[in-house]
Structure 1
């Protein structure tokens, strides 16, 4: 087996690679952004490599990847499945693997305390690949922090030349991150990117789409041909601002993105349907009664009457986002708006309910991804095919 040097040329979807004692840790926010916020939720989310994949050209018939994943254990909650590594050969699914090895992060949901225990490195192996020159992709687990330790193959490896695809840069919340999807290529952004024939850079950050200025700067500074921002649900979940602050924060976020991408198609997407928060403000809390029964569910703890004092609900957020985009689009003709309920609405909830009250399952992700691709990449859609920038 050849030992392959892990370099940036073989890794796509990460904004930064941190050199560690063992190897490389992909990050989806740069160090400057990470230094401006000490929130453990953000640190966890941005280090989980949703959309990050190794991409290379080889005629190898066997490939091995050593990694050090971080497994999450929530006290009192059902066990989480191990993260999934997916292999694509010339764009087609060719295998899946998981690791039981790795570090363990145990979180007490009642107190918020966390304990980190070190564990061993593991190896995923894909064998029986065709003995021809081919493009290989290994998608890393979208919901498991993954440190890359070593890559081996039984033939030389080289970077894949630029395929001329447009780069789609997306930012959103836990649903965009891929919560409750079965695997990294079945998150809705990954599905939509495949259907749209674009290269994905996914800045979906579970629990952390909070209109943070450092996230806007990361979007501003990342090369892209297409940009979308799915905003609103986390602002309600965390109850971080009132209507007075929300509008200017959205304007400022879009202003910053436009500093680096003045002419790039920019799509603002409002939240998909989430019945618990349509008319009830946050914050969102764990349903402890359900947790005691071994089920993970969430509930809204606000009072609908609090809307009069400026508390945000999804209904209020959608109205404000639609107004802001409509007013800005009078001058910014490449700015567009998509109501998230066109991706997942009342009829979809009746057919494919949210298992935990907040996140879709794999079938829900597929529906959202297919709908997004059909709307955004349509001939008359905001991401209609054209020359790469």
Structure 2
């Protein structure tokens, strides 16, 4: 039986993390970030600040002979008055790429967000210890995937054998930027988000810059992508621009060009895939902004509705249909001098027929089965034979690495 002196505490440093671009030291531990400090200083709203601090795709990685591992965390629990309670975030432990355990923190800090008023309040709470036991005793690669939907401070990492940073895997790095769907909204677990599923099938290392409500062509995000190591890059853009009612068609095209120009400053010949919006009935032909459906909230359900006027598209208001046409046009234009630039129609990942079978739960976000479908289709279209990422990766249709 393990005794206290058998256990070793390992400092949590950047060498043990994948998928994070920065590590902030706090009074209660370390907080992984998916945008660097220089970009975070330019964030104009709390919503994006919360999204980038949520560790979607971030995982602790190490080699060890330990049969038991403990992780002390301080999770941030989000609550929305009038909406159903959110499930606890899931931590997943993988041994040599295979799921070997799951855990959740039942308590932590509480962030209460009032969607109607736009206000937020934080109440401090206790930390929690997560324990993963019964692991094989031989040398192995271990990953602990942090929740894709719950900000997490890491306080301590312990095991009953020493932990070491793993050797380089040799896999290519895939840098992806998108909206809440890319972050993993409504996925059941961090390895069940569509980018995580696609990365497993493509046998690549994922860096997920999917930000709920935050895929808005921000220059600081483009600069982050420009300056981040990457062998493959994808940008999924459109839904947030519409549901935030952020800009008109006149501004959208130049903003896309500017975003891509910035990425190309650091990655002039890296395969770069532009992905247009998935099918979303409320915004296909109706502009934003979107807003919570207060009648649904009064019944304890979270749903969103489009509040724009379809007639205003003639004056330049954006819909998903308009954005798909514009993105296809921009990529076609740029590809004449940029042969490594590619386009993927989001309707090929999730279209009208898919919605009839697997409707968006709240009008905007997919359920776990839909994440699985999107991930499989992206893997096939991007990493499979003839796909823009095919030559750089080792695609396995089963979704397992080899």
TM-score, length basis structure 2: 0.96
Is there any run of 5+ residues in structure 2 with no aligned partner, and where? 1-6, 395-402
Structure 1 equivalent of residue 285 of structure 2: 279
**Counterparts of 1:288-367 in structure 2 under 5 Å?**
288-367=294-373
Structure 1 equivalent of residue 220 of structure 2: 214
Structure 1 equivalent of residue 116 of structure 2: 110
**Counterparts of 1:181-200 in structure 2 under 5 Å?**
181-200=187-206
| Partner Cα separation in structure 2 for residue 350 and residue 387 of structure 1 | 33
Structure 1 residue 380, shift from structure 2 partner: 1.1
1:368 to 353, 371, 374: 374
Is there any run of 5+ residues in structure 1 with no aligned partner, and where? none
1:130 to 131, 136, 140: 136
1:32 to 38, 43, 59: 38
Q: Are positions 1:267 and 2:247 aligned together?
A: no
Structure 2 equivalent of residue 3 of structure 1: 9
Structure 1 equivalent of residue 400 of structure 2: none
Structure 1 equivalent of residue 399 of structure 2: none
Tell me the alpha carbon deviations over residues 171-209 of structure 1, each in whole angstroms, 9 at most, x when there is no partner: 000000000000100000000000000000000000000
2:237 to 231, 238, 241: 231
Do the aligned residues in 1 keep the contact of 2:90 with 2:147 (CA within 8 Å)? yes
| Partner Cα separation in structure 2 for residue 109 and residue 377 of structure 1 | 39
Structure 1 equivalent of residue 257 of structure 2: 251
Structure 2 equivalent of residue 70 of structure 1: 76
Using the TM superposition, name which of 94-103 and 256-265 deviates more. Answer: 94-103
Structure 1 residue 163, shift from structure 2 partner: 1.2
Structure 1 residue 387, shift from structure 2 partner: 7.6
The two structures, once aligned, show a CA RMSD in angstroms of 0.9
1:21 to 7, 16, 27: 27
Tell me the alpha carbon deviations over residues 312-352 of structure 1, each in whole angstroms, 9 at most, x when there is no partner: 00000000000000000001000000000000001110110
Aligned residue for 1:385, secondary structure, equals helix
Do the aligned residues in 1 keep the contact of 2:82 with 2:297 (CA within 8 Å)? yes
Q: Are positions 1:89 and 2:95 aligned together?
A: yes
**Counterparts of 1:127-166 in structure 2 under 5 Å?**
127-166=133-172
| Partner Cα separation in structure 1 for residue 267 and residue 391 of structure 2 | 18
Do the aligned residues in 1 keep the contact of 2:204 with 2:393 (CA within 8 Å)? no
Aligned residue for 1:78, secondary structure, equals coil
| Partner Cα separation in structure 1 for residue 340 and residue 158 of structure 2 | 44
Structure 2 equivalent of residue 204 of structure 1: 210
| Partner Cα separation in structure 1 for residue 43 and residue 216 of structure 2 | 12
Runs of 4+, deviation exceeding 2 Å: 385-388
Structure 2 equivalent of residue 60 of structure 1: 66
Structure 1 residue 386, shift from structure 2 partner: 3.0
Structure 1 residue 379, shift from structure 2 partner: 2.2
